[in-house]
Chains A and B, each alone.
Chain A
């Protein structure tokens, strides 16, 4: 009896096991679990997940844009280099063209000058021949005139010829 009393006192001191308490605790805890998950932790977790995704996305986007910028800058450098080369080539070409044109012009001028010179020479020759011809014609008529004059004076044919030739010679030398 004494032992039983002591036992029950300890039991009571600890509060004992109350079935209703235990069932209520289980019920309350499960209800609380469902409620806080739905109204508190669920949204917080969603928000944290969303932030995580956002940050990951931002990092990815930043990396991508950095890569793109690098690519664009490389392209620009490449293009600049190409443009420089092209410009240099154009200048060189222009220089070459200028030199060639200069030579062409000089050659053409020289050829033209030659042509003109030759033409002038040919003209001169021509005129000279024409003059000679005219002179000869004139000399012939003159000689006929002279001959008639000489005949009048009865000059031998030998003298006459000599006279003509001398005359012509004289004229030729004068020319």
Chain B
């Protein structure tokens, strides 16, 4: 039932192919686990942060409001706040989910047997592309909802009609770049971390040579994780503003 794919240098992934005997249905159990863990961590952190809200913020409430203001700033950069506040929960959830997901993979990678179970959920192209596709679908949905179908269709022929094919391609390229950027950064980070772990644990010499680059790369990965969460949220709002704002 388990077919081991080769992932992260020499570790497999807990992939079940042909689920329920359906040939195209497959599942990577590690992804499911990490999505669940990430969601739970985000939810618990947010709810803990939102306990005992007061007019004078203290402790966790300050952190929550800082994150909120941060995402609010991202939205304010791309569109006016009147329409933008509609997307604040989306931006917040995207930012926190991707940030926590990125950090999980940077801090630890867990291998059970030969399978890689504990990793970033965002280091999987299927997951990042699902997120980016969801974002693009939402931009179209809100574009039609807020500006009407006529304006939405007209936008494909602006500023002049020959650009129509390019506009169509743009929608798909946006989806691909948004998802694959996140995946690529996180996956590369994890591959390099796995390589350095392999080097560090191989021998004494390897430990001496690999420990410092490992620490450096881990720090850099944390930085990349934060930046990528920010970029994903930022671009989401940019694409959203292209669809919902009057001016371009």
Contact = CB atoms under 8 A, between A and B. Distances in A.
A64 interface: no
A7 interface: no
Given A18-B26, A25-B121, A41-B46, A32 B97 contact: yes
29 contacts: A12-B6, A12-B13, A14-B125, A15-B28, A15-B123, A15-B125, A15-B126, A16-B26, A18-B15, A18-B27, A18-B28, A21-B31, A21-B124, A22-B129, A22-B130, A24-B31, A25-B131, A26-B130, A28-B36, A32-B39, A33-B93, A36-B46, A39-B46, A39-B50, A40-B43, A40-B50, A44-B49, A45-B68, A47-B53
B68 A17 contact: no
A29 interface: yes
Interface size class, chain B:
35 or more
Contacts of B127: 21-22, 25
Interface of A: 9, 12-22, 24-26, 28-29, 31-33, 35-37, 39-45, 47-48, 50-51, 54
B61 interface: yes
Contacts of B26: 16, 18-20
A79 B166 CA distance: 78
A54 B57 CA distance: 14
Interface stretch (B84-92, B106-114, B220-228, B230-238): B84-92
B134 A26 contact: yes
Contacts of B130: 21-22, 25-26, 29
A41 B69 CA distance: 11
Contacts of B134: 26, 29
Contacts of A43: 50, 53
B216 interface: no
A13 B25 contact: no
A17 B24 CA distance: 10
A16 B127 CA distance: 10
Q: Lowest 9 A-B CB distances belong to which pairs?
A: A12-B5, A40-B46, A20-B27, A40-B50, A37-B89, A22-B130, A47-B53, A33-B93, A21-B31
A9 B64 CA distance: 43
Given A16-B5, A21-B28, A39 B35 contact: no
B47 A40 contact: yes
Given A19-B26, A36-B47, 6 more contacts: A15-B31, A18-B31, A21-B32, A36-B92, A39-B46, A43-B53
A43 B36 CA distance: 24
B88 A41 contact: yes
A25 B182 CA distance: 15
B117 interface: no
